[in-house]
Amino acid sequence: MSSDSDGEVVNSIWSWVDSSGNSGSARSMQSFTFTAYSQVTLTLQIVDDLGGIGLATKTIEVVNGPHVSNITSIQNGQQVELSWQWDGEQSQFSVIRNGNIIATTNQTSFTDTPTFSGETSYSIQPIVDGRHLDAGSESSPITVESSFKEIQSTNDFGGIIIGFIMLILSLITVAMGYLNRGQ
């Protein structure tokens, strides 16, 4: 966060140049994606309300971080068994179903019991030093089949028979009521 001791910050400009000669700039908040295994020099220029300018420059080394790969999802009855490979140090992982975190684990496998059948997407997002790594994530869609058998519906003839029996029982009950009143 930038601040100004004798006024207020009115403008900020980020600029960068990498070791291959690529460059860019942007005002205020914006994200940049850099080529792995390169050096990038970042510069932040701040302008205050009195026209004062401040500069800060930092050079960083961009490397590929660890990532999740080969995620598999297999339905076993009502459960979905997930497994994946991880090429980094021991870590935790967020298990994400349809965009919602459903669990955190330190294993490279997880078993879920989804509440609905149909198209389901799972993502595994590594957590390194308390930070969720979007770049190290991987997703896998699966169609979850319902393991419940369809209930057999009563056919039309069976419905007519049950309706007729109920009608007869109702008439007998009404007739018994009139007979008991006459005594």
In this predicted structure, what is the pLDDT of residue 26?
A: 80
In this predicted structure, what is the pLDDT of residue 108?
A: 95
Name the one residue in this structure whose structure tokens are 């997703």: 139
In this predicted structure, what is the pLDDT of residue 14?
A: 87
Q: What's the full length of the chain, in residues?
A: 183
Structural contact between residues 31 and 14, judged by C-beta atoms closer than 8 angstroms = no
| pLDDT tens-place string over residues 6-54 | 778 888 888 888 888 888 888 766 677 777 778 899 998 888 888 888 8
In this predicted structure, what is the pLDDT of residue 175?
A: 85
In this predicted structure, what is the pLDDT of residue 104?
A: 95
In this predicted structure, what is the pLDDT of residue 95?
A: 94
Q: What's the predicted TM-score (pTM) here?
A: 0.52
Tell me the one-letter amino acid at 32.
F
- Ranges of residues in the chain with a pLDDT under 50 are 149-151
In this predicted structure, what is the pLDDT of residue 159?
A: 80
Q: Return d(Cα 53, Cα 13) in angstroms, integer.
A: 11
In this predicted structure, what is the pLDDT of residue 141?
A: 77
Q: What are phi and psi of 98, to 5 degrees?
A: 50, 40
> Who contacts 86 (Cβ-Cβ below 8 Å, separation ≥6)?
66, 67, 68, 69, 93, 108, 126
Q: What are phi and psi of 106, to 5 degrees?
A: -105, 15
Q: Return d(Cα 91, Cα 105) in angstroms, integer.
A: 9
In this predicted structure, what is the pLDDT of residue 112?
A: 94
